[in-house]
Structure 1
Amino acid sequence: MSLTRCLRPVYSKRLISQQAVRSLATAAVAPKRVLTCPMSNSKNNMLRVFLTRRNLFTASAVQQSYNAASLTIDQYHQVSDDTLDHIDETLETIGEEVDLPGFDIEYSQGVMTIKLGEHGTYVLNKQPPNQQIWLSSPKSGPKRYDYDTEHKKWFYHRDNHTLDELLNEELSQVFGQTVDVMDGFEP
């Protein structure tokens, strides 16, 4: 199956022209690149297809694979509380350094509300029955994160990005400086 034919179904709902699909396919074809059809049934062969750069389908686009762990309720509360406490402390520190109108952070009983003025409000909260942390982002919408004990990361099962990756990316744009919400964190 050609890459152009493979890409067409992904973008048909967005009304991208055939010429645009061909140019994307042409941009993606280069030596030493991994070309995988996003419509493939094999989970291990699927690549995250976000068209934000011209160098699509590179080997670096393949992300780490995470697995949700079954934790005891005490383990879940320990790791989720430690994670949210660390994010709270990190953002409080950044909030003191950066003058962002409308910045406020509240954290109580497993629910963290991060108000960023005109940039919107983030909400992080624990979900003990599911052993998850839920995020509501004004930029990327709602996400549910599971914990991988091997990699010590909260990850989103649909595309394997981690909670800290998403928060770092979005909050760095808001604060105008590099943000690492898990800097120095040891679970």
Structure 2
Amino acid sequence: MNDTEFHTLIDDQLNSIEEQLDECDADIDYEVAAGILTIDFANGSKIIINRQEPVHQLWLATRTNGYHFDYVDGHWCDDRTGQRFLEILNKACCDQSGETIVIN
């Protein structure tokens, strides 16, 4: 994958998350600055999603762990476990908010 393809994939993923957070009824806020998406929860915890251009990865930081994702067969997959990004993100959002949040 070249840099242009990488940026397109990341931008599409972040835009999709933003759109779905806008429609979500949960008590959360988010901010995008310099390509970093920060999701803030009512309890003060955060989730941070950002791009790592040198290694063409999507990174996710949650209250309990940090994850690095490679783009494999049309999905962002954890480079250690193979678990998909959205599965981990949804679980972290639910755990940190105490509410059901589903991002597709």
1:124 to 49, 67, 71: 49
Task: Report 1 or 2 for greater relative contact order, CA contacts < 8 Å, sequence distance ≥ 6.
Answer: 2
Match of 2:3 in 1: 73
Match of 1:144 in 2: 68
Shift of 1:170: 2.2
Report how many aligned residue pairs link the two structures.
Answer: 103
Structure 1 CA distance for aligned equivalents of residues 22 and 58 of structure 2: 20
For structure 1, list consecutive stretches of 5 or more residues without a partner in the other structure.
1-70, 183-187
Structure with higher strand content: 2
Shift of 1:172: 2.8
| 1:93-137, Cα deviation, whole Å (9 max, x unpaired) | 11xx23x2xx32001321001111215111100111110111110
Match of 2:40 in 1: 115
Structure 2 CA distance for aligned equivalents of residues 175 and 93 of structure 1: 17
Structure 2 CA distance for aligned equivalents of residues 90 and 165 of structure 1: 15
Q: SS of the residue aligned with 2:58?
A: strand
Structure 2 counterparts to residues 82-93 of structure 1, below 5 A: 82-93=12-23
1:168 to 90, 93, 100: 90
Q: SS of the residue aligned with 1:160?
A: coil
Checking the alignment, whether the CA contact within 8 Å between 1:80 and 1:126 is kept in structure 2 is: yes
User: Given the two structures, how large is their TM-score scaled by the length of structure 2?
Assistant: 0.89
Aligned-residue Cα RMSD (Å) equals 1.5
Larger radius of gyration: 1
| 1:124-173, Cα deviation, whole Å (9 max, x unpaired) | 0011111011111013x11111111x2x1111121111110011122234
Opposite residue 86 of structure 2, the aligned amino acid is D
Provide the identity percentage: 24
Shift of 1:175: 4.8
